[in-house]
Amino acid sequence: MSKLWYPMIDQDKCIGCMACYKMCRHGVYAINNDRPTVVNREGCVEGCHGCGNRCPEKAIVYSGDFKKMIKCSCNDD
Ligand code: SF4
Ligand code: SF4
């Protein structure tokens, strides 16, 4: 079964600050053309928001983070 939880970068928002790349200790990111790129989805830790929390542009969302991805009032606590 393929990994469900991993980061996805909105390249239109990303400013290339590398905070996400520097934050992650699990080898999920590599640098490609001066931008962080997700190269190792399998390395990402289920439920971790570490890189997304560091992103100044809020350019990172997570596959599998349905509560954030689906904008529905049923998700409001
Ligand atoms: S969510 Fe955590 S483990 Fe996954 S890429 Fe970001 S910092 Fe690394
Ligand atoms: S932290 Fe956000 S803005 Fe900075 S490089 Fe990563 S995705 Fe781009």
Which ligand is located closest to the Cα atom of residue 15? 2
Question: Do the domain assignments include residue 77?
Answer: no
**Domain span including residue 44:** 6-68
The helix/strand/coil state of 67 is helix
38: domain CATH number is 3.30.70.20
- What pLDDT was estimated at residue 12? 96
Supply the DSSP string of 6-61, one letter for each residue: EEEE-TTT-----HHHHH-SSS-EEEETTEEEE--GGGSPTT--HHHHH-TT--EE
Question: Do the domain assignments include residue 73?
Answer: no
* CA gap 47, 41 in Å, rounded: 13
Which ligand is located closest to the Cα atom of residue 5? 1
Question: Do the domain assignments include residue 75?
Answer: no
Mean pLDDT, contiguous 10-residue spans, the chain (77 residues) = 89 97 98 96 96 97 80 65
Q: What is the domain count for the chain?
A: 1
- What pLDDT was estimated at residue 73? 72
Q: Are 15 and 36 in contact (CB under 8 A)?
A: no
Question: Do the domain assignments include residue 60?
Answer: yes
Question: Do the domain assignments include residue 76?
Answer: no
- Ligand 1 pocket (Cβ < 6 Å) reads 7, 23-24, 26, 28, 44-45, 48-51
- What pLDDT was estimated at residue 49? 96
Question: Do the domain assignments include residue 53?
Answer: yes
Question: Per-residue pLDDT tens for 43-56?
Answer: 999 999 999 999 99
